[in-house]
Structure 1
Amino acid sequence: MGNAVREAPSGLERRSAAADADDSNGRGRPGRVRHRVTWLFAAAALPIVAFAYHAISRVAVDAVSAGLVATTEQHNVAFARALANVHDEAIRALLSQQAADGKALSARAAFDAALMRSLPDTLVAKVKLYAPLGRTVYSTDARQIGEDKSGSPGFEGARLGRVVSDLTHRGKFDAFEGERSGRDILASYIPLRSTDRRGVAAVLYLALVAVVWLGERHWRRRQVREIKLLRRTVAAEAASRAKSEFLARMSHELRTPLNAIIGFAECLGEEGLGSNQPARVAEYAGHIQQSGHHLLAIINAILDHSDMELRRLNLSLEAIDLDALVVELCQEFAPELARRGIELTRDAPAGLPFVQGDRLRLRQALGQLLSNACKFSLRGGKVNIRVRTDWARNAAQGSVVLSIEDKGCGMSAEQLEQALQPFRQVEEGLNRRFQGLGLGLSIAASLVRLHGGVLGVDSKLGQGTTVLVRLPCAPLRAMASDTAPVAKAAVAA
């Protein structure tokens, strides 16, 4: 027959086919199951993660907000109490007057002016003052004066002695300095205690921008910068004034000896060397020499000061017998002291150790100190030089201590501080009694420091001045064996 006949499968074949079908389907099922489980987990985890993120963010925001509220509230309370302490009389006047009273209007105007001076810039939104029963006796917004706030939670809480604060966001608000927008405002009702501390005399309402603590920090930084700038400006002005004073003093100090040099030189030129007045010519020549030495000393002092400021001054170190150096200086100043009737005494024990230093520079420093003592001593006065050894501070390396004491005019503490500054003198102006640039004490102190020593000054106004110079030295035995011959040669020279 033409039709094809399809035989039914046997039972064994049916089971084999079913097994093959199961095997075919089973090969893709594990992958599809894992993929489906992943999607289900992701779908379930996404809202959990989002909720956790939102919760953590909310906790963080709440923590920051709580800290911000607490910090700003502390500022509000501190500022309110300071305001109440400083302007206590104005607050009493506001509380004691009626709203329409002329005295109250005057008190409000005074309080407005006080607030303008006291409030931090752009941080205060509003200030109000309530009487104990709730009447508004003052507000930076005058339209609110006279309103009754009794019954409001903030006022009632403050009347019971608690600080009540509320943090809100304001789209627009009228601040003390004008309209502001988009700020978080912390409004605090702050109780003001009565003088006997037994009750609440008034309630102060203070609304501050919630970032007041950040604003204050920036304000303080700005204030520090302004103070530093002001100090630099003051220092620059002081330097400019010092330079001007120096130039004026230099003009005076240089002009005086130069005039003498020029004037006497002209006289010598007019009279000539063959004149019949040789004594006068010799006198003029002496004046020229004296003025020239004076001018040279001034110029040398300026150069020394400049070298020390620029750290260009080098020392030629050698072992020096300080007592021998003092003897030389005493002999040099003896004629001038005798002319002025000033007694000069020296007190030094035998066997003083040598000091290590630059002989020329030490002589310059000690000579300047002795010159000052003579200059500021009164006629018939006394100058005493004392040299001693001090081993108390360091047994291995002691010190030679030299003091120069005079019974002259002396200085006060303020004058002494001024005298230690370069180009400064106790007496300013061209009419001062004692001439000079004001460099002597400063140069002497710098030279002593260069030798590793210390210079101190003790002075009392009207009683005199004592200058103490402490110079380090090697032990006596080492100096005697190693450097004493060098010192003797230096002294002999």
Structure 2
Amino acid sequence: MNNNLENISVSGTKRDRSTITTIAFSVLFCVIMIYSYKYIDNSLRTTTNSTIRSSTETSHADIVRVTSNVLNAEVEALISSYNIDGEPEAWANFIQSDAFSDFDSKVRAAVANTNVAKLKIYADDSITVYSSDLSQVGEAGTDIEHVTHALRGRSSSQIDFRDVFQSLDGELRNVNIVSSYHPLSNSKGQTFAVVEIYSDRTNEFKYSGDRAKSYSGRFLIFVSLAMSIWVGQILFAALRQRKSD
């Protein structure tokens, strides 16, 4: 009698331990699943964002190369003629000059029917000598790291979310903008200016975000099914063990 009671007690203790172990593994599995979901979602977003930024920078570089072949002389002339004293009146006269207006028209014609949303040109002292947003002409870009890198001959790019953005076609709101900075060289191979090009990539980022959610969701469903099967097998085995006891 005592032996039977001891056997039942030992069997019950084993079942309790098995149940606790199952619960512990289930909780751990859930934690791992949640972490994996967030990690995969973040990795997919980071990769796609980097791809969009890189491809946009490449396309911008191609645009700069093509337009510089046509407008390089005009850019040099514009830079050599701008007034560097920074007085508002002087910049207003500069913007209203025939040379600036003619250059602006040529730039807009050159980037028409492209993905360019805005364009700026910095002189070698980082002063903005041209912008499709006229209010920015005359601003200093000395505190912009990307301008400094471009003046040293290195292209770079960045992604920004803008609540309001003044594009060539008017005001845009709540957009993802990729801007890239490219050096302009003269006939001697010396960098004399920097071109900054902006493109609206909101649709691409939305699409990549939706794809990341879709892939992450599929992963979560697959893991959830796997976990359900695993837990079901454990419960089934526990019930069979209980009946046999």
- TM-score of the aligned structures, taking structure 2 as reference length: 0.71
Counterpart amino acid of residue 55 in structure 2: T
User: Could you say what secondary structure the match of 2:126 adopts?
Assistant: coil
Counterpart amino acid of residue 59 in structure 2: H
- Number of residues of Structure 1 aligned to a counterpart in Structure 2: 197
Give the distance between the partners of 2:81 and 2:96, measured in 1 at CA: 5
Partner of 1:105: 97
Q: List aligned pairs for 1:464-483, cutoff 5 A.
A: none
Q: List aligned pairs for 1:235-314, cutoff 5 A.
A: none
Correspondence for 2:151 among 144, 151, 159: 159
Q: Give the superposition deviation at 1:161.
A: 0.4
Give the distance between the partners of 1:213 and 1:77, measured in 2 at CA: 19
Q: List aligned pairs for 1:77-476, cutoff 5 A.
A: 77-99=61-83, 100=90, 101=93, 105-121=97-113, 123-197=115-189, 199-210=190-201
How has the CA–CA distance of structure 1 residues 79 and 122 changed in structure 2, closer, same or farther, with 3 Å as cutoff? Answer: closer
Alignment deviations for residues 159-200 of structure 1 (CA, whole Å, 9 cap, x no partner): 100002111222221111111123221111110011111x10
Give the distance between the partners of 1:128 and 1:137, measured in 2 at CA: 8
Give the distance between the partners of 1:45 and 1:120, measured in 2 at CA: 54
How has the CA–CA distance of structure 1 residues 69 and 178 changed in structure 2, closer, same or farther, with 3 Å as cutoff? Answer: same
Give the distance between the partners of 1:124 and 1:103, measured in 2 at CA: 21
Alignment deviations for residues 205-256 of structure 1 (CA, whole Å, 9 cap, x no partner): 1111236989xxxxxxxxxxxxxxxxxxxxxxxxxxxxxxxxxxxxxxxxxx
Partner of 1:49: 33
2:54 is aligned with 1:62: no
Give the distance between the partners of 2:55 and 2:33, measured in 1 at CA: 32
How has the CA–CA distance of structure 1 residues 159 and 212 changed in structure 2, closer, same or farther, with 3 Å as cutoff? Answer: farther
Q: List runs of 5+ in structure 2 lacking aligned partners.
A: 84-89, 206-245
User: Could you say what secondary structure the match of 1:87 adopts?
Assistant: helix
User: Could you say what secondary structure the match of 1:28 adopts?
Assistant: helix
Q: Give the superposition deviation at 1:71.
A: 0.6
Alignment deviations for residues 51-107 of structure 1 (CA, whole Å, 9 cap, x no partner): 222222222222212211111000111111222222223312311212435597222
Counterpart amino acid of residue 159 in structure 1: L
Counterpart amino acid of residue 205 in structure 1: E
Is the contact between residue 137 and residue 145 of structure 1 (CA under 8 Å) also seen in structure 2? yes
Correspondence for 1:74 among 58, 61, 65: 58
Is the contact between residue 76 and residue 188 of structure 1 (CA under 8 Å) also seen in structure 2? yes
- TM-score of the aligned structures, taking structure 1 as reference length: 0.37
User: Could you say what secondary structure the match of 2:97 adopts?
Assistant: helix
How has the CA–CA distance of structure 1 residues 65 and 102 changed in structure 2, closer, same or farther, with 3 Å as cutoff? Answer: closer
User: Could you say what secondary structure the match of 1:128 adopts?
Assistant: strand
Give the distance between the partners of 1:33 and 1:181, measured in 2 at CA: 59
Give the distance between the partners of 1:23 and 1:66, measured in 2 at CA: 63
Q: Give the superposition deviation at 1:152.
A: 2.2
Is the contact between residue 97 and residue 104 of structure 1 (CA under 8 Å) also seen in structure 2? no
Give the distance between the partners of 2:96 and 2:55, measured in 1 at CA: 34
- Compare relative contact order (CA 8 Å, sep 6+) and give the higher one, 1 or 2: 2
Instruction: Percent identity, please.
Output: 24
Partner of 2:15: 31
Higher relative helix content: 2
Give the distance between the partners of 1:103 and 1:62, measured in 2 at CA: 40
Counterpart amino acid of residue 199 in structure 2: L
Counterpart amino acid of residue 140 in structure 2: D
User: Could you say what secondary structure the match of 2:188 adopts?
Assistant: coil
Give the distance between the partners of 1:152 and 1:75, measured in 2 at CA: 22
Q: Give the superposition deviation at 1:20.
A: 4.2
Counterpart amino acid of residue 165 in structure 2: F
How has the CA–CA distance of structure 1 residues 54 and 147 changed in structure 2, closer, same or farther, with 3 Å as cutoff? Answer: same
Counterpart amino acid of residue 80 in structure 1: V
Counterpart amino acid of residue 200 in structure 2: V
Q: Give the superposition deviation at 1:114.
A: 1.8
Is the contact between residue 71 and residue 213 of structure 1 (CA under 8 Å) also seen in structure 2? no
Is the contact between residue 80 and residue 190 of structure 1 (CA under 8 Å) also seen in structure 2? yes
Choose 1 or 2 for highest CA Rg. Answer: 1
Is the contact between residue 157 and residue 163 of structure 1 (CA under 8 Å) also seen in structure 2? yes
Q: Give the superposition deviation at 1:130.
A: 0.9
How has the CA–CA distance of structure 1 residues 149 and 67 changed in structure 2, closer, same or farther, with 3 Å as cutoff? Answer: same
Is the contact between residue 134 and residue 150 of structure 1 (CA under 8 Å) also seen in structure 2? yes
Q: Give the superposition deviation at 1:121.
A: 4.2
How has the CA–CA distance of structure 1 residues 144 and 48 changed in structure 2, closer, same or farther, with 3 Å as cutoff? Answer: same
> Root-mean-square deviation (CA), in Å?
2.5
2:31 is aligned with 1:40: no
User: Could you say what secondary structure the match of 2:82 adopts?
Assistant: coil
